[in-house]
Amino acid sequence: MTTPPEQFGSAELDTQCGRIRDQFQDSPKLQETLERLLNSTRAGVAVNAKTLAGELYPDQETTNAQQSVRKMVGMSRDRLGVHSYYGPSGAGAHDPIIVDLPEPPRGQGYLAKFHRRPLPERTRSGAALPDGVIEDEHLLNEIESKIAGTDIWVAAHDLSNVGDRTSGFSELVRDAVSANAMRGVNYTYIYPEGRPGGSRIETLQGCFGPDKPGKLRLCAVPEHSFQELTLVPCHFISFNPLSDNPVAYMQLPLTAAQKGWIELQEQSSLLVLTKMRQLVFEHEQISSNILEASVAGDYESPTGANHSITGLDRISYEATKLAASFEFFETDAKAFEYLVKRYTRDESLYQLRDTHSRAERTPPGYDYTALELGLRKFSERGGKSKFVFRSIVDDNYVRMIETVASEKANKGAIERYHVPAPILSFIILDYKGRQSEVLLGWGHLGSGTEGGVLRAC
């Protein structure tokens, strides 16, 4: 069934037309003919052979030029046909949109036809894949697209799952990533240096933008470092990897189009996530050039082999062993967002202790409304808070605390003390049954006015 172009999203058609255009790069004139037809169709205007002849072959005699146009259109039609681009083994075999160029009725102009590929009937997991294996699209549509948290980490050999412009499934992945980015979900992609081509990286970056709150972090790591995670061409993904109970999934390294995923058991998830965190931490340290050392020495690697490495590598290696226990927030506001989550979602949190020597300013673009609501909820369920202030502080922050403390329901839950000047701002979060956390820095770790906070546990 033909679908009018206006029934498709503009970005959706841009992507499909771009895929097709890439397949015509070997013939610029053919590519130009096809692009002209697609653009006119999207504008809702049929274009006849005479008009095309004048545009594409201005130096030819009119009759010959029209014959050249008909030849170019016919060749484009053949290359898009079921025996070529859209064929079972063609580059467009799984494209979500099918484009064809029918011969127009006599006296009328050319109009391309757009069809949405019908989704195939999905067989049960037990029939198409072994029991316990999650289908690609199920993981995408029912898990990734419905994530309740704010972070997704992916370790991928070549970014093919999201970066291929000729794969229908990759288009579905990009749609999910774009939608999540619009909802404020942040993505971290870990991949070997030089493995994915520049076009795949650019395609992935196109899922994000200044209008979307979710951000993209790309971590290109050395090939040998990535192979410590996996030697086979498969992907790992974790939803909310920095939460208390993170889960990781592994895509099976099958050759079939439908590869499938398995949810890793707790111990396996921990091993994978620890390595992913180490790779991210190592990448961030080297990229920022904040470690400087040049003295070479011998150090025993985790495999037992001795290697001569630089002082930079030595420090980086020591730091990666601690990576699973640390998290760096780039701004005070991001640390406050984390604190709100602990207030509202973590029932094991029973006490907060805050020494407050932050400057007399509120973090740029942030107000304390969410923090106030979180502190109120925490206090109402029995949580205890102690705040130690110096004489010059952020008045808005103090006012927020006083507002909650003055409420009858919270009487005795919040203690406030004033001292001359704590040396360093820090917040301690005490939990029942597990280790306390410390949020420290608050402007001392970062440059500029937005600060920086380190979380350690």
pLDDT digits (tens, 9 = 90+) for 280-335: 877 766 544 433 333 333 333 333 333 333 333 444 444 444 444 567 777 788 88
Q: State yes or no: pLDDT of 248 exceeds 90.
A: no
- Predicted confidence at residue 451, as pLDDT, reads 56
Question: 3-class SS at 103?
Answer: coil
Give the C-alpha separation, 147 to 145, whole Å. Answer: 6
* Rounded average pLDDT over 364-381: 86
Answer for the pair 107, 229: CB distance below 8 angstroms, yes or no. no
- Predicted confidence at residue 394, as pLDDT, reads 75
Residue 62: HSE in the Cβ half-sphere, 13 Å Cα cutoff? 3
Question: 3-class SS at 420?
Answer: coil
Give the C-alpha separation, 348 to 343, whole Å. Answer: 10
Answer for the pair 214, 186: CB distance below 8 angstroms, yes or no. yes
| Structure tokens given for 423 | 């040396």
User: Which among 192, 251, 195, 202 has a CA at the least distance from the CA of 222?
Assistant: 192
Distances from the Cα of 153 to the Cαs of 121, 140, 230, 274, 285, in angstroms?
Answer: 30, 14, 15, 12, 18
Give the C-alpha separation, 79 to 125, whole Å. Answer: 35
| Number of C-beta neighbours around residue 210 at 10 A | 5
**Which of 86-90, 312-316, 380-384, 451-455 comes out lowest in average pLDDT?**
312-316
- Predicted confidence at residue 316, as pLDDT, reads 40
| Structure tokens given for 236 | 């790992």
- Predicted confidence at residue 340, as pLDDT, reads 92
Please report which helix (H) or strand (E) contains residue 190, including its range. Answer: strand 186-192
Give the C-alpha separation, 453 to 253, whole Å. Answer: 39
Query: pLDDT-based confidence at 349, cuts 50/70/90?
Result: very high
Please report which helix (H) or strand (E) contains residue 326, including its range. Answer: strand 326-329
**What is the end-to-end Cα distance of the chain in Å, rounded?**
58
Q: What is the mean pLDDT of the chain?
A: 75
- Predicted confidence at residue 310, as pLDDT, reads 37
| Structure tokens given for 388 | 């130690």
| Number of C-beta neighbours around residue 92 at 10 A | 22
**Residue of higher predicted confidence among 43 and 447:** 43
Q: Is 51 exposed, middle or buried (0-12, 13-18, 19+ CB in 10 A)?
A: middle
**Residue of higher predicted confidence among 129 and 411:** 411
CB neighbour list of residue 104: distance below 8 Å, 6 or more residues apart? 46, 110, 111
Query: pLDDT-based confidence at 383, cuts 50/70/90?
Result: very high
Q: Is 388 exposed, middle or buried (0-12, 13-18, 19+ CB in 10 A)?
A: middle
Give the C-alpha separation, 1 to 103, whole Å. Answer: 17
pLDDT digits (tens, 9 = 90+) for 204-223: 888 888 888 888 988 888 88
| Number of C-beta neighbours around residue 281 at 10 A | 21
Residue the block writes with tokens 């709150």: 213
Q: State yes or no: pLDDT of 28 exceeds 70.
A: yes
pLDDT digits (tens, 9 = 90+) for 127-176: 455 666 788 888 888 888 888 778 999 988 878 777 776 667 778 888 88
Question: 3-class SS at 418?
Answer: strand
* Rounded average pLDDT over 35-52: 86
Question: How long a stretch of residues is the chain?
Answer: 457
> To the nearest 10°, the Cα dihedral for 154, 155, 158, 162?
-10
Give the C-alpha separation, 136 to 125, whole Å. Answer: 10
| Chain CA centroid to CA 399, Å | 37
* Rounded average pLDDT over 356-382: 80
Give the C-alpha separation, 100 to 112, whole Å. Answer: 6
Report CA torsion sign: 201, 203, 204, 209. Answer: positive
Query: pLDDT-based confidence at 357, cuts 50/70/90?
Result: low
Q: State yes or no: pLDDT of 103 exceeds 60.
A: yes
- Predicted confidence at residue 361, as pLDDT, reads 60
Which residue type sits at 133? Answer: V
Question: 3-class SS at 239?
Answer: strand
Query: pLDDT-based confidence at 17, cuts 50/70/90?
Result: confident
